[in-house]
């Protein structure tokens, strides 16, 4: 119990405090949310991805394990959510919005800060989260776009392809991989600039998330929201937990994957729902409620996964709430 409280106090509380700053300033003064979001999307996140992939301690085998874990979990959650929504006989548009709310989680604005606060000291968790951010971004702006568009005639495959090719994360990943393959060090000015931008992601992303939360409208709670919350915050990490065991993944890599699967619904999912007028009030409410509830579920999930993966993984590294006494 003390471990859960400590994680909540030292990891989750600072995140919600920084979000609170963004929420309060947005209500008092008002940010240009679109510009702030673009600043994160086009500057800070690509810099973070480049730095983490270029300096990654993940082996090629671990990289493939992360990708395989993501794909299996994604397909399983899609099938489960789609079937349950059909079982409840919800309309097609709501079924699509519900599925997107479960599949796409906040791996960037929320996930990166959690990873850096929970696993300080330059371990592999940042690299894991960088890969997950890239995979989530690609799937959200391709499959997620298709879900919200709902097969409308005006949404062509070429539009989806163009949306994917506009993602800066893909080019950041490719550039980092190519540069790393050469074995050349980065020029000192470029290295410093990229690290400054990468380090700025956490506070700026959390202030942005808080400001975005201030603009969302929560609506009457209903069973379709409850189902999405249970699937996103509880079933997702439980499936991820079983999957890392099935794939033989252990140590910090396993815990990073399980904790990542417990993050709340992505704001970008709600933005796509608004863009295509696909149950926008429902999508925004799921983001709002899942972010609030994640303060408890992420703390419990992180604390629960700790003894399962790290009893035999003692590391002489900077202590964190998730790394002491055994990892």
Q: pLDDT grade, residue 164 (50/70/90)?
A: low
Please tell me the predicted confidence (pLDDT) of residue 150: 65
Selected residue with higher pLDDT from 150 and 223: 223
Flag whether pLDDT at 88 surpasses 50.
yes
Q: Of all residues in the chain, what percent are helix, strand and coil, respectively (each to 5)?
A: 75, 0, 25
Query: Does 325 fall in a domain?
Result: no
Express each pLDDT in 17-40 by its tens digit. Answer: 988 999 999 999 888 888 888 888
| Mean pLDDT calculated for residue range 39-43 | 86
Query: 264 and 270 in contact (C-beta within 8 Å)?
Result: no
CB 23 within 8 A of CB 211: yes
**What single-letter DSSP state applies at residue 278?**
S
Residue 105 DSSP symbol: B
Q: How does residue 152 score in pLDDT terms, banded at 50, 70 and 90?
A: low
Give percent of the chain with pLDDT exceeding 70: 85
Does 90 fall in a domain?
Answer: yes
Mean pLDDT of the chain, nearest integer = 82
The whole-angstrom separation of Cα 196 and Cα 125 is 19
The structure tokens listed for 23 are 């929420």
Question: Residue 309: its pLDDT value, please?
Answer: 56
pLDDT at residue 317 tops 70: no
Domain count, the chain: 1
Is residue 321 one of the residues assigned to a domain? no
Rounded Cα gap, residues 88 and 94, in angstroms? 11
User: Could you report the per-residue pLDDT of 169-222, keeping only the tens digit for each?
Assistant: 788 888 998 998 898 999 999 999 999 998 888 888 888 888 888 887 666 778
**CATH (domain of 132):** 1.20.1530.20
3-state class (DSSP) for residue 319? coil
Mean pLDDT of 157-166: 67
Residue-range definition of the domain harbouring residue 61: 2-310
Query: Across residues 109-113, what is the average pLDDT?
Result: 82
pLDDT of residue 243: 95
Q: With contact defined as beta carbons under 8 Å apart, do 298 and 12 qualify?
A: yes
d(CA 70, CA 72): 6
Contacts of 246 (CB under 8 A, 6+ apart): none
Predicted confidence at residue 305, as pLDDT, reads 65
In this structure, of 129-138, 274-283, 312-321, the range with the lowest mean pLDDT score is 312-321
Residue 236 falls within a domain, yes or no? Answer: yes
What angle (nearest 5°) sits at the alpha carbon of residue 64, between those of residues 63 and 65? 90
Cα 216 off chain centre by:
19
Judge whether 323 lies within some domain. no
Which residue, 113, 153, 108, 157, is CA-closest to 12?
113
**Amino acid 313: pLDDT:** 45
Q: What angle do CA 243, 244, 250 make, to 5 degrees?
A: 170
pLDDT of residue 76: 97
Cα R_g (the chain), whole angstroms? 19
Confidence of residue 235 (pLDDT cuts 50, 70, 90): very high
User: Of the given ranges (15-19, 121-125, 168-172), which has the lowest mean pLDDT?
Assistant: 121-125
User: According to the model, what pLDDT value does residue 56 have?
Assistant: 80
Please state, in angstroms and as integers, the Cα–Cα distance from residue 14 to each residue in 11, 21, 114, 207, 282, following that order: 6, 11, 10, 12, 28
Instruction: Tell whether 322 is covered by a domain.
Output: no
CA torsion angle for 100, 97, 112, 192 (degrees, to 10)?
90
Q: Is the pLDDT of residue 141 over 80?
A: no
Query: Is 219 in a helix, a strand, or coil?
Result: coil
Q: What percent of the chain has pLDDT over 90?
A: 28
Q: How many whole angstroms separate alpha carbon 175 and alpha carbon 198? A: 15
Instruction: Give SS3 for 250.
Output: coil
Mean pLDDT, residues 288-315: 70
**Does residue 317 belong to any structural domain of this protein?**
no
Distance CA 311, CA 198 (A): 32
The alpha-helical segments, DSSP class H, found in 236-279 are 236-246, 251-260, 267-275
Q: Is residue 71 part of a domain?
A: yes
Average pLDDT over residues 238-251: 92
Q: What does the pLDDT average to over 36-48? A: 86
Residue 68 CB partners (closer than 8 Å, separation 6+): 247
Q: Is the pLDDT of residue 156 over 80?
A: no
Rounded-to-integer distance, Cα 120 and Cα 321, Å: 10
The answer to whether residue 315 scores a pLDDT higher than 50 is: no
The pLDDT, as a whole number, for residue 321 is 47
Model confidence band, residue 308 (pLDDT cutoffs 50, 70, 90):
low
pLDDT category at 283 given cuts 50, 70, 90 is confident
């Amino acid at each position: 119990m003390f471990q859960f409280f400590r994680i909540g106090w030292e990891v989750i509380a600072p995140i919600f405090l920084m979000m609170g700053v963004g929420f309060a300033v947005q209500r008092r003064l008002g940010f240009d949310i679109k510009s702030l979001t673009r600043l994160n999307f086009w500057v800070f996140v690509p810099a973070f991805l480049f730095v983490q992939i270029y300096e990654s301690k993940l082996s090629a085998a671990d990289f493939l394990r992360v990708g395989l874990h993501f794909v299996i979990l994604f397909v399983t959650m899609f099938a489960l959510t789609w079937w349950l929504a059909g079982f409840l006989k919800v309309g097609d548009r709501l079924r699509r919005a519900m599925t997107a709310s479960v599949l796409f989680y906040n791996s960037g604005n929320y996930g990166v800060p959690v990873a850096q606060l929970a696993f300080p000291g330059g371990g592999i968790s940042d690299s894991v989260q960088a890969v997950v951010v890239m995979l989530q971004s690609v799937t959200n702006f391709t499959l997620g776009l298709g879900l919200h568009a709902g097969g409308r005639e005006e949404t062509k495959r070429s539009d989806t392809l163009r949306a994917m090719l506009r993602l800066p994360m893909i080019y950041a990943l490719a550039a980092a991989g190519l540069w790393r393959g050469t074995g050349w060090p980065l020029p000192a000015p470029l290295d410093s600039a990229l690290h400054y931008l990468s380090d700025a992601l956490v506070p700026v992303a959390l202030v942005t998330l808080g400001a975005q939360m201030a603009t969302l409208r929560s609506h009457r709670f209903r069973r379709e929201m409850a189902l999405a919350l249970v699937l996103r915050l509880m079933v997702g990490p439980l499936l991820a937990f079983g999957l890392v065991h099935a794939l033989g993944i252990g140590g910090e890599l396993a815990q990073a994957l399980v904790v990542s699967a417990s993050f709340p619904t992505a704001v970008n999912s709600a933005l796509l729902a608004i863009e295509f007028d696909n149950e926008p009030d429902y999508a925004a409410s799921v983001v709002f409620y899942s972010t609030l509830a994640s303060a408890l579920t992420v703390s419990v999930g992180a604390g629960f996964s700790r003894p399962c993966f790290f009893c035999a993984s003692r590391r002489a590294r900077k202590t964190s709430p998730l790394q002491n006494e055994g990892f």
